[in-house]
Amino acid sequence: MTSKDTGPGYEVVARQDFSDVTFLLEIRHPMLAKAARPGQFVIVMSHDQGERIPLTIADFDRDKGTITLVIQAVGKTTREMQRDCQVGSRLVALVGPMGIPSHIGEARKVLCVGGGLGVAPVYPQARAYKESGAYVIGVLGFRTRDLVFWEDKFRACCDELILCTDDGSAGIKGLVTEGIRQAIEKHPDIDECVAIGPPVMMKGCAEATRPHRIHTIVSLNPVMVDGTGMCGGCRVKLTNGVKFACVDGPDFDGHMVDFDDLMFRLQRYKATEHEAMERFNESCRLRSQIP
C-alpha cells in the first residue's frame, strides 16, 4: 500500500468517459498491477451489498501501481458503477489477477482484433506481442466514429492499424471481418489471430480465419459467479469437451468453441437482469424526486 492508501478498499484514481455508456476506471492496487498479465481478469464489488462481476484487465502500470478497467454500463451493477465510481471513491473488493494469462509465444506476425468494448482487453495482447518482437496488425471495430477510443494507444504498439466502423464514419466501412479479410489478403503469412468482443463478432472472426488455418484465440465471457471453477456457471462447450472459462481460460481456440451454445447460455438470465434494471431505474427515479 502507498502513503495515499488511507482508507479501506481500492481507490479510483482516474476516470474517463468514452460515451454515454462506456467509461474507464484506473484503480490503485500495486500488488495486483505487479502480478497482472495480458488476458487476465478481476472480480469486482463496488460496495458491500453489491454484485460480484468479472472484468477483463484492459491495462496495468507497474510503476504507478494501477490497473485499468473499461466498462460498459449495460446492466444494473455496471450502471450503478457508472453513477457512483468517481475519482476518489473506492471499490470495496477487487480480486485478481484471475484466469490463465495469454500465451504470447513466438508468433512473428499477429492479427489483434477488437470489437466495441473488446478493443480494451485486446490492447495488452497487442502490446505484449509487439514487445516480443512480432509484427502486429490491429483491427478495431466500432459502430461509429463517436465511439472510437484508444486509437492512439494502438497506433503506438501496432505496425499497421485497420479501423472499421459500421457506418463508414471512420476508417473502412464494415465489420471487423472486412478488416481481417484485407489484412490476410495483404499478409498471407499471418501466424496467429487474437479476437475479443461480443460472441457473435468472435464467431465471425473465427470463421474468417478458419479457411486460412490461422491459429485464432478468443477471450470468452460466459456467466461467472465465483471465479474459482466451483460453481460451474462459466462452462464452455468445445469440440474436445467442456471447460471452465475462469480457470481454464478465458482464452480458448476460436475454431473449437461452440459459439451458439455460448450465446444461448448468455441469454438465460435476461429476464432476471431486466427485473434488476427496472428496480434500479425506479430507485433512481425516486431518488431524483427527493428534495
Structural domains in the chain?
Answer: 10-98 (2.40.30.10), 109-266 (3.40.50.80)
* pTM confidence score: 0.82
125 burial (CB, 10 Å; 0-12 / 13-18 / 19+) is: buried
CA-to-CA distance for 113 and 153, rounded, in angstroms? Answer: 14
Contact 42, 53 (CB under 8 A): no
- Number of helices and strands in the chain (H, E): 9, 17
User: pLDDT 10s per residue in the chain (291 long)?
Assistant: 343 455 678 999 999 998 888 899 999 999 999 999 999 999 998 888 888 888 889 999 999 999 999 998 888 888 888 999 899 999 999 988 999 998 888 889 999 999 988 888 999 999 999 999 999 999 999 989 988 899 999 999 999 999 999 888 988 999 999 999 999 999 999 999 999 999 999 999 999 999 999 999 999 887 777 777 777 778 889 998 999 888 888 999 999 999 898 888 777 666 666 676 677 666 666 566 665
CA-to-CA distance for 61 and 34, rounded, in angstroms? Answer: 8
CA-to-CA distance for 265 and 74, rounded, in angstroms? Answer: 17
Cell representation of residue 260: 451458439
Count of CB atoms within 10 A of residue 232's CB? 11
Q: What is the pLDDT of residues 91-116, one digit of tens each?
A: 999 988 999 998 888 889 999 999 98
Query: How far is Cα of residue 167 from the mean position of the Cα atoms in its chain?
Result: 23
Q: What angle do CA 69, 121, 56 make, to 5 degrees?
A: 55
